[in-house]
Every structure is written in C-alpha cells, then in structure tokens.
Amino acid sequence: MATAMSCGVSSVFLLFYVFTSCLGLFSGGETFKRQVSVELNPGLTVTPPGGDLLHVRAVGDNDTLHFLFCSQGAPTLLLVHTNSSSSTVKVDWPLFLARNTSGSLRVEPESSILYSTAVVFSRLLEYDDVNDTADPTSDPFPPYELQNFTWSRLNLSGPVALLCGAASNFTNGSLCLQLSVFQSEGRGELWPRLIHTANSSQMGVWLDGMLPRANRSRFLLELQAVSGAYPLSRVEVHRSIDDEYTPSIFKVSQWVSSVNGSSDVLGFVQWKPVAYRQSNPALEDATPCRHSDPRPQSSEKTAASSGLIRAFYSEPDTFALNVSFGLAGEPFYNSTQFLSWTVLVGVGSPPVDSFSPLVVAIMAVGLGTPVVFLLLGGLWVCIRKRAADSTTAYEPIN
C-alpha cells in the first residue's frame, strides 16, 4: 500500500512537471514586435503655441502604425494604420496651428492608409448625487470642456507621454492623461492590468486633487470617436470566468468598428468596467463604471474642439459616449479626491484575456490528481486480487 501511495505522489509531481514544461514550450515562442520611434512636434524646431503634437511610429514587417497625440484643443489620440513600412507623417505647421482647414496633417503615401480612427477626450461632467442614486441626470453642473483646459507640455519617457491640465476654475488638482505605446505583447503593471499587443496603445486617465463642486459629486468622462469610412459605432460587452488580473471584474467592454456590421473588427477602444479611488489601489478602492450607448455627433463641432481632427479629417463620422464612475452606495469622489481609469486604443481584433500558465497548471493538477489516484487504486485492487487468486488456487495431490 505504501508503495502504491508513493507511486501516486510521484505521478502527481510528474503530471505537474509535464504540464508546466509543455506550457513553457507554448509560451516561450517569439511574439510579434514593432520598432517604435518617438518624435515630438515633427518637423518643427521651436515649441509650438497652444500645445504639443507627439508622433509615435511603430513599424512592423510590412505595415506601420502612426500614433499621434495632440493637446491643441481637446486631447486627442489619432491612430493611422498603413500597409507600408516606410509611410511618414507630414505637418504643414502654419496651417496646423491656424486650425481652420483640413489637410494640414497627412500620412504619406495616402494610398497606403488602411484604416484610421481617433479618440477625443472632450468633456468632464460632474453632478451632485444628493440621493445617492448614481443618476447622472440629477443635478448636473456645467461641464468642463477639455478644449478650454490649460495643458502642460508633454512629458516624455520613451514611448510614454504624460499630459496634465486644469480648468480656469479649478482651485486645486489636475486631470492627467498618460499614453503608452508598446513594441510587443504584455500586460499593465497596475490594476486593471489590461493585456496589450503591438497593435494597441494604452491611455490612463486620472483626476487628482480637484475640489468637487459638491460633497456628493460623481463624475463622467465623455469620449468622441472619429473615423473615416468605418466609425466606432457599437459597444460589445464580453464576460469571462477569470478575474486573475483584475480581481472581482468579469467583464470587458469593447467599442468597435467593423465593415458593414461584419464580425471582422478594424479598430477598437477597450476597457474593463472599473475605476480606482487611489493611485496605488487595493481591492476596496475599486469602483464600478458604466457606459452609455454611442450616439452620432456633429463632426464639425468635434473638429472645432480638436486641432488634430481638423487637421487630418475632411468629412469624418463621429460617435460619442459617456463613461460614468461609481454606482449607488459607492463612496463619492470627495472620499479620496482621486479617480483613475484605463483604456486601450488599437487596430484589428481587441486582445483577449486567457488563463495564465500557472492557473492552467494548477487546474490540470487539480483535475488530474483524482484520476491518477483512481487509476492507481484500481491497479492496486487488481494486483491484490490476482495475488489472492494465485494463493488459493487448487493444486492436485499426487
């Protein structure tokens, strides 16, 4: 019996070793990488008035992603995908700064453009949730138009850019946006730890230290998605059974663009429905967030608020939605005076979360151990039965 148990334990460890070794082989392959370069205010030798223009160029084997982040007006992230590894960005700075005509920013050759989309961070909305219902239509304050904020110069650290600003009536605090562009697949270090690929960028948004206009204030952020032929027109919500990387969150929301309603996604904005009330949050600092349905907007009004939209698009389609932070019964913004939210912007299909190799190995061992013991138990019973039969077998007397 001791020998059988020893064999069982050895089999369990052998099973664990085999699974982890196989997972190591599967996860050890080369992932797709892009060569990333960064240029601030491309083609300009002086600091432009009114805000900066950042160009991050991510070159693949036979394509290029151009990420353009601009603080001329409302902060805007433009993503252009081309089928050429040598496509470039050209800026006519006098026209660009005038902000009254399209075509002052071009991606050349124009025939190489496969897809483009832009996200405008247009307004910050605040309301007094007197009855703690988390109903944004109750007692709203005049919105903060982000095009009217005073924005800092972009603070660069490799392919990471930080932009902070404040409204003229802010008595304290700021609203910050941090853009990160990636060479390859990975995952954010801080919650919600979104998975990213070389085809996506990440934007972190946080409100820090701003004094609310009421003790029970809650906030919403308005996003406007601008595209050429195929706008971001619908939000899909996907569910998962795994919350390994974002504890207690089992959903992911994806604002997507597709060709004539097909399942093929051209571009996306992806987030998990959670925000955090601390810069280094614990689980209790998480607060749920919700989104409204995308609605068509005036493209002319959007272009007037964003220098980058005016410069690149001539006749775009625009949709907008609000992301609201906090539910009824949740602490109000005033409890910490901090709120952060993270979103991905990319091309192609959105990244999909999967179980980590460690979780898969644990599941395999957990499910495999009973099977191993059942097999060993059955084998032991058979051996004992055969041994008993051999000792009691009839032997003739000569």
| DSSP assignments along 56-109, one per residue | EEEE-SS-EEEEEEE-SBS-EEEEEEES-TT-EEEE-HHHHHHTSSS-SEEEES
DSSP class per residue in 20-49: HHHHHHHHTSPPP--EEEEEESTT-SSPPT
The pLDDT confidence band at residue 91, using thresholds 50, 70 and 90, is: very high
**Residue 148 · residue 330 · CB < 8 Å:** no
Instruction: Give the model's pLDDT for residue 263.
Output: 75
Q: Which residues pair with 177 in a beta bridge?
A: 163, 205
Q: Give the highest mean pLDDT range of 105-109, 137-141, 168-172.
A: 105-109
Chain segment 294-339, per-residue pLDDT in tens: 999 999 999 999 999 999 999 999 999 999 999 999 999 999 999 9
336's CB contacts (< 8 A; 6+ apart) are: 277, 278, 285
Q: Which residues of 137-163 are buried (b: 16+ CB within 10 A; e: fewer)?
A: eeeeeeebebbebebbebeeeebebbb
Per-residue pLDDT reduced to its tens digit, 352-388: 975 445 444 554 555 556 766 677 777 777 787 777 7
In CATH, what number does 35-347 get?
A: 2.70.98
Nearest to 29 by CA among 183, 181, 185, 182: 185
Sketch the domain layout of the chain as residue ranges: 35-347
Examine residue 94 and say whether the peptide bond preceding it is cis (omega within 30 degrees of 0).
no
Tens-digit pLDDT profile for residues 238-259: 998 778 888 989 999 999 998 8
Contact call for residues 358 and 315 (beta carbons, < 8 A): no
The 10s digit of each residue's pLDDT in 30-69 is 589 999 999 999 999 999 999 999 999 999 999 999 999 9
The stretch 226-244 carries a mean pLDDT of 90
